[in-house]
Chain A
Amino acid sequence: MMCQICNDYPATIHITEIINDNKTELHICAECGKQKGIIGKKITFSLGDLVSGIIEEKTNVKTDELQVKKCSFCKMTFEKMRKIAKLGCVHDIGVFGEWLEPFIEKIHGSSQHVGKTPKQINQEAKKDIELAKLKKELQEAVKKEDYESAARLRDKIKNFGQNK
């Protein structure tokens, strides 16, 4: 089926609206969806739902305290972040960390990066990643009951702290 607005691209978004028993269907392409603001709204809405779900689950997150927080660099507020479920700048990680961690954990099943690092980065950050990698390997070794590797990794992790 082609987009009912532009007729140029295949419809990838299908919207059913029911108002007073009247069902209307709209089939449009992603581009038109974006232009009409339909996609943006839809995604925000579903992510927002997910977010409130997490907040309820994790009652230890104090939304009252978060409510007044604001990033001084990009001016992101908690209110806005909750609504759009997107970050405004790199500093938001620190400002809204308490709220972001369970959110990110829910999406990825993890909250620790173990991939590559940029060339231009301070040594401290590089060490943190290295350490996280070792800890993950240790976890896996224990899971596999490979105690020899686990002991070796545990020693490595110990030494790591001393070097720091």
Chain B
Amino acid sequence: MEIYKKPIGWLRGEGDFASVVVSTRVRLARNLSNYPFITSVTPQQAKEIDNYLVDKVSKLQLNMPFTVYRLHEMDDVDRRVLFERHLISSEHLNSKLNRSVAITENERVSIMINEEDHIRLQSLESSFNPKVAFEATNCIDDILSEVVSYAYDSKYGYVTCCPTNIGTGLRVSVMMHLPAIVYTKQIEKVIQSLTRVSYTIRGFYGEGTSPLGNFFQVSNQTTLGRSEQDIIEELVKVIPEIVRFETTWREKLSKDQGKNLENTIWRAYGVLKSARSITSEEALELLSAIRLGVNMKLIESVPLQVVNELFIMVQPGHLQKIYGQQMKEGTRDITRADLIREKLNKF
């Protein structure tokens, strides 16, 4: 599987609010009406569903054809690569059932088959772009709904395995980089105000108020009682508020503690450009500092996309593919440092 070599389109670091918003993910949860849901399915039925949906998806008339990966037939490292590239979820990665994922060439759209629901349509976009991401899944959903019979109820809408997704089955998740808000200890405030308006915010690499790398995922909590457009429109009002808050504090930080901040960022850059062994925890923290430096125009030579992609490349699946071997923990830290040095010293 060669997918690990490709640049990742949705990490290109262009678009609205790219300095704060890394990416926007939209997903629609769907199920078949004529089969039990994943909670109650037998392995044989799961196999049937998988074959049936792979066939239907492969035959869809689209401008952008799908490549199908049968996860149950792949080895663990290849599956991990798909997971690290956000093309499948951890639930999908670890399932024991027959399951597949269909991915478009540019990796913007993927269809998970036999995840928690029979069908999960997902779209990823660079920076803040919920409308485009929604349209990408919405049109595939329309086409698919002509050839398969969805589990649908006039009162509850699209019936999903978990009641928290019922209705539109729509979840929009925005990945945000909020180092200044975390540093100035105001994340609690942001969490509280988002929770009040029914949004979920959680750390991307770890939970709590200072997750690794200061990445957070903001998503809508409810899926029933509002239309897809309303859910997206509201997000279009909420997310820019957080972006403004983060940007204001970045400016304030650089005014009040400029030297301190510069020191942290350049030290991180120095370590990553010369370390001979680095844990994935330390790599994430230092890359986060560099990302801030690039966005604040302190580090001008390194493109944002390179930094964004390094967050993915330093993970075990990609490392093992790039260096072509199963690696033990200690060796992995060495190759991780090698990879980061190689990528950063080009600039």
A contact set with B: CB distance below 8 Å: 1-2, 7-14, 30-31, 34-35, 73-76, 84-90, 93, 100, 103-104, 107-121, 124-125, 128-129, 132
Contact = CB atoms under 8 A, between A and B. Distances in A.
B154 A110 contact: no
Interface in B142-157: 142, 145-157
Contact of A113 (B36, B94, B167): B167
Given A11-B206, A76-B40, A90 B153 contact: yes
24 contacts: A10-B205, A12-B207, A13-B207, A34-B91, A35-B94, A84-B39, A85-B163, A86-B161, A87-B162, A89-B151, A104-B163, A107-B222, A110-B167, A110-B226, A112-B225, A113-B155, A113-B157, A114-B227, A115-B157, A116-B141, A118-B145, A119-B145, A120-B148, A124-B154
Contacts of B157: 113, 115
B284 interface: yes
B90 A111 contact: no
Interface residues of B, number: 60
Interface of B: 31, 33, 35-37, 39-40, 90-91, 93-94, 138, 141-142, 145-164, 166-168, 170, 198, 203, 205-208, 211-212, 222-228, 279-281, 284, 315-316, 329
A111 B225 contact: yes
B167 to A, nearest CB: 5
A87 B90 contact: no
Nearest to A89: B36
A113 B225 CA distance: 5
Contact of A115 (B160, B164, B228): B228
Given A34-B90, A87-B159, A115 B153 contact: no
Contacts of B138: 116
Nearest to A110: B225
B150 A118 contact: yes
Contact of B33 (A76, A90, A112, A132): A90
Nearest to A73: B36
A100 B203 contact: no
Contacts of B329: 7
Nearest to A29: B90
B163 A111 contact: no
Given A107-B164, A108-B225, A113 B40 contact: no
Contact of B280 (A8, A85, A89): A8
B167 A108 contact: yes
A107 B223 CA distance: 9
